[in-house]
Amino acid sequence: MTSDHSTAPTRSQETTLQGNLYTPVSSVLELRHVSCAYVAGRPAVQEISFAAREGEILCLLGPSGCGKTTILRAVAGFEPVRSGQIFLSGQLVSSPDVMTPTENRRVGMVFQEYALFPHLRVQDNIAFGLRHLARSERSARVQEMLRLTGLEGFERRYPHELSGGQQQRVALSRALVQNPVVLLLDEPFSNLDPDMAGRMRQELHDLLRRTKTTTVLVTHDHDEAFAMADRIAVLNQGRLEQFDTPEMMYHMPATPFVADFVGQADFIPGTVFQGMVHTELGEFSNTIECEDGTAVVVMIRPDDIHLVPTKGATSRVLSRQFRGSENLYTVSLPSGQIVHSSQGSTSVYQAGTAVELRVLATHTVLFRREESTGLASQPVRPIAREH
Ligand code: ADP
Ligand code: MG
């Protein structure tokens, strides 16, 4: 077994990782140490801090019940904060003593179930929040939204005469037509079939970019977060574990929980000795400060492990899962440790094949051994780096 070089990314590598990042100018939404609780003494979210820059698309990502909707509701002004502060466009809107009403926050919300008015036509659903404007102005704004969201020709239909995707576009139009400071979207694709969801993601992404809309989107699906977000906040049991770009989240997860949640990951035990981590898969550079003898785990992704069928090799293919564009292999090392390897769709090896493992990790992600048990640890940075 060989391990190709595993060192912490340099600044220039990090720049490449963040190469696609949209770089807006100022902070439109900021949460500072926000905690909310439905029942006193039992916080639903705790000490949440993050900020969205103008035009940025943020995703709140985490399993069901981790507090995503609670955070959206707090930003929208539906839920008070027990401690901390929320700022919109630099104005304090929530704190234990301040609660600006929803209608004065200029946030747009799209809920999972869209909540359209069934008795109103598309055009009147969209115009609903514009009653204060003159008729001609209102009509011009609605026409503009219909054009932006591709709903021209549907303006006189009722919601029940529309597909799920079209209903979603109406809900989006109704929120966007008011030029919200921030658009809040709670699992907007969960009612759509996967094909439609994929198309709507792309459409929505283009629309948000064109309209330069600052957005917070909630999802439990890491693929969706990766596809949509400039930055992602990963939540676990009401706490923020990492706030970072999708690329950093995947390659440099801050905690074992994040590592596991954003994609398939294996955790290989190792021991630190003289600057290196010694594992069954070879040696890796040590990237955390610790003494010789410290027990650690190295996180490795399936795309970092290459398989080479070799007579006499001591690792064995256990199973293959065909996924169309790739084969995901489960492999057993001599110790019984299981790892996963993704290979091209045409690399087909039978169960029982003896294989050499080549580890192609370009960087090492290490956790102390005690942190990786249960995969719900205190946030720790695996590698020291600036932001
Ligand atoms: P998510 O949107 O990530 O699934 P939520 O924000 O809805 O999570 O919930 C966070 C936590 O708060 C969960 O433990 C949930 O059971 C609890 N919770 C949510 N809404 C209420 C409510 N209205 N009353 C009491 N507890 C609630
Ligand atoms: Mg929710």
pLDDT in tens, 59-100: 999 999 999 999 999 999 999 999 999 999 999 999 999 999
The reply to whether ligand 1 has any atom less than 6 angstroms from the CB of 43 is no
> 280 and 196 in one domain?
no
Measured between alpha carbons, how far is 216 from 387 in angstroms, rounded to an integer?
A: 21
Judged by its nearest atom, the ligand closest to the C-alpha of residue 48 is 1
Query: Which atom of ligand 1 has the smallest separation from the CA of 63?
Result: 3
* Same domain assignment for residues 245 and 288: no
Q: Which ligand 1 atom is at minimum distance from the Cα of 220?
A: 3
Q: What is the per-residue pLDDT for 150?
A: 87
Q: Are strands 215-219 and 182-186 parallel, antiparallel or unpaired?
A: parallel
Residue closest by Cα to atom 17 of ligand 1: 44
Q: Indicate the SS3 state at residue 9.
A: coil
Task: Decide which of 196, 225, 251 is a domain's last residue.
Answer: 251
**Do 102 and 23 lie in a common domain?**
yes
Query: 67 CB less than 6 Å from ligand 1?
Result: yes
Do 32 and 166 lie in a common domain? Answer: yes
Say which residue the tokens 């090492």 belong to.
364
Q: Which of 228, 251, 274 is the last residue of a domain?
A: 251
Whether 81 and 210 map to the same domain: the answer is yes
Amino acid at position 284, single letter: F
> What range defines the domain where residue 88 resides?
19-251
Q: What is the DSSP string of 225-267?
A: HHHH-SEEEEEETTEEEEEE-HHHHHHS-SSHHHHHHTS--EE
The enclosing domain of 242 has a CATH number of 3.40.50.300
Residues 289 and 190 in one domain: no
Structural tokens at position 65: 């019940």
Identify whether residues 238 and 273 lie together within a single domain.
Answer: no
Q: How far is CA 249 from CA 33, 163, 179, 235, in A?
A: 21, 35, 31, 12
* 92 and 227 belong to one structural domain: yes
Residues 298, 169, single domain; the answer is no
**Of 225, 251, 277, which closes a domain?**
251
Higher-confidence residue: 1 or 116? 116
pLDDT digit string, tens, across residues 319-338 = 999 999 999 999 999 999 99
Distance CA 135, CA 143 (A): 12
What is the Cα–Cα distance from 93 to 85, expressed in whole angstroms? 8
Are residues 318 and 279 part of one domain?
yes
- The answer to whether position 26 is within a domain reads yes
Mean pLDDT within 350-368: 89
Pair 182, 95 in one domain: yes
Give the predicted TM-score (pTM) of the model.
0.84
Looking at the structure, tell me whether residues 197 and 61 fall in a common domain. Answer: yes
Give me the number of domains the chain comprises: 2
- How far does the centroid of ligand 1 lie from the alpha carbon of residue 64, in Å? 9
Smallest CA separation from ligand 1 atom 23, residue = 38
> Ligand 1: which atom is nearest the Cα of residue 60?
3
